[in-house]
C-alpha cells in the first residue's frame, strides 16, 4: 500500500540524502548495495533493531530523511512508500535478554546479521552509518552521518525505527505504568519513576548501569557470565518476534 507522503517542514526540506556513494558502487559493478542502520542501542527496554535496505537503481522515492529528523507521524507516513519502493528490506532484532547475555556490541552485530540474512540477497557492498563496522563482512563502507547523506541508509533507518516503535507500542498495554507507547523504552523521567516504583519488566535490559541506582531491590542487576539456561523466555518471544 502506498500512502501519501508527508509535507516536509521547511527546516528539513533542503537536507535530502543522495545516492552518490551508491551510484559509484553501481558504476563499478556492484549490483546489490545494502544500507544498514541501528535503532534502540540507548534504550533501557526493548530490542536493539537493525534495518537493512536495497534500493532500486532506476527509481527514486522522495521526502526520505534521516529518521531522527522526522516526527513519528512523518516516519509512519513514509514507511509503506519506502517498503514498496525497496528491492528488498528487512529489520533484524536482538531481544533484551540477548542484549544482556551477549553485551551491546555483540547484540547489535547479531541484529545486523539477522537483517541482512533476511533480505534474501547476497550483498556486494554494505553501507554503514557511523565509524563502527558492526557488520564485519569484509565488503562494508562506513559513512559518518550516513543516515543523513545516503538515501539507502536513511531508508533503512526509517524502516528500523518504525518497526521497533510499533513493537514497543504493541508491548505497552502489558506494562501500562511504563508508557512504552510514548518513550519506546528510552530513558525519561516517567520511565525512571516507573522503574523505581515497580522494578524492571521482562523486556528491560537488566545488565544496564541504571539497574544499580534503582531503589527498588526486587530484581538484581544481570551480570555476565550468568548460568541462565536460555537467552530469552516465552514472554520475550511473544513480545518481540524476530523478523
- Which has more confidence, 118 or 225? 118
The pTM for the full model equals 0.84
Map grid coordinates 535496505 to a residue. Answer: 53
Give me the DSSP letters along the chain. Answer: -PPPPPPPPHHHHT---B-HHHHHHHHTT---EEEEEEE-TT-SBS-EEEEEEE--SS----S---GGGS-HHHHHHHHHHHHHHSSEEEEEEE-HHHHHHH-HHHHHHHHHHHHHHHTSS--SEEEEESS--SS-SS-EEEETTHHHHBHHHHHHHHHHHHHHHHHHHHHGGGSGGG-HHHHTT---HHHHHHHHHH---TTB-TTSGGGGG-S--SSPPP-SS---SSSS-HHHHHHS---
End-to-end CA distance of the chain, in Å? 20
- 144-174 pLDDT per residue, tens: 988 889 999 999 999 999 999 999 999 999 9
Give the pLDDT mean for 64-87. Answer: 88
Domains, the chain, in order of start with CATH, read 18-167 (3.30.420.10), 172-225 (no CATH)
19-72 residue pLDDT tens: 999 999 999 999 999 999 999 999 999 999 999 999 999 887 767 777 887 889
Position 3 scores a pLDDT of 54
pLDDT at 177: 94
pLDDT-derived band at 2 (thresholds 50, 70, 90) equals very low
* Per-residue pLDDT, 95: 97
Position 65 scores a pLDDT of: 76
Grid coordinates in use for 14? 533542503
What pLDDT is stored for residue 67 in this prediction?
81
> How confident is the model at residue 4, as a pLDDT?
59
Strand-pairing partners, residue 128, are 36, 142
CA–CA separation, 224 and 235 (whole Å): 21
Confidence band of 196 (pLDDT split at 50, 70, 90): confident
Please tell me which residue, 139 or 229, carries the higher pLDDT value. 139
Amino acid at each position: 500500500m502506498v500512502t501519501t507522503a508527508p509535507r516536509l517542514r521547511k527546516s528539513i526540506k533542503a537536507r535530502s540524502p543522495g545516492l552518490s556513494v551508491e551510484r559509484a558502487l553501481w558504476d563499478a559493478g556492484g549490483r546489490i548495495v545494502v544500507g544498514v542502520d541501528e535503532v534502540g542501542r540507548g534504550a533501557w527496554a526493548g530490542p536493539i533493531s537493525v534495518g537493512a535496505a536495497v534500493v532500486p537503481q532506476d527509481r527514486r522515492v522522495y521526502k526520505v530523511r534521516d529518521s531522527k529528523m522526522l516526527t513519528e507521524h512523518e516516519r509512519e507516513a513514509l514507511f509503506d512508500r519506502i517498503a514498496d519502493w525497496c528491492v528488498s528490506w528487512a529489520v533484524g532484532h536482538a531481544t533484551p535478554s540477548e542484549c544482556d547475555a551477549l553485551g551491546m556490541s555483540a547484540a547489535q552485530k547479531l541484529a545486523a546479521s539477522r537483517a541482512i540474512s533476511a533480505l534474501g540477497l547476497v550483498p556486494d557492498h554494505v553501507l554503514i552509518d557511523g565509524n563502527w563496522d558492526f557488520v564485519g563482512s569484509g565488503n562494508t563502507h562506513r559513512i559518518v552521518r550516513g543516515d543523513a547523506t545516503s538515501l539507502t541508509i536513511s531508508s533503512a533507518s526509517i524502516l528500523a525505527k518504525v518497526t521497533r516503535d510499533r513493537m514497543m507500542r504493541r508491548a505497552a498495554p502489558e506494562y501500562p505504568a511504563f508508557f512504552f507507547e510514548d518513550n519506546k523504552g528510552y530513558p525519561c523521567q516517567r520511565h525512571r519513576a516507573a522503574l523505581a516504583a515497580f522494578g524492571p519488566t521482562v523486556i528491560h535490559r537488566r545488565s544496564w548501569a541504571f539497574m544499580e541506582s534503582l531503589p527498588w531491590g526486587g530484581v538484581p542487576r544481570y551480570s555476565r557470565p550468568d548460568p541462565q539456561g536460555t537467552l530469552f523466555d516465552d514472554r520475550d518471544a511473544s513480545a518481540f518476534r524476530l523478523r
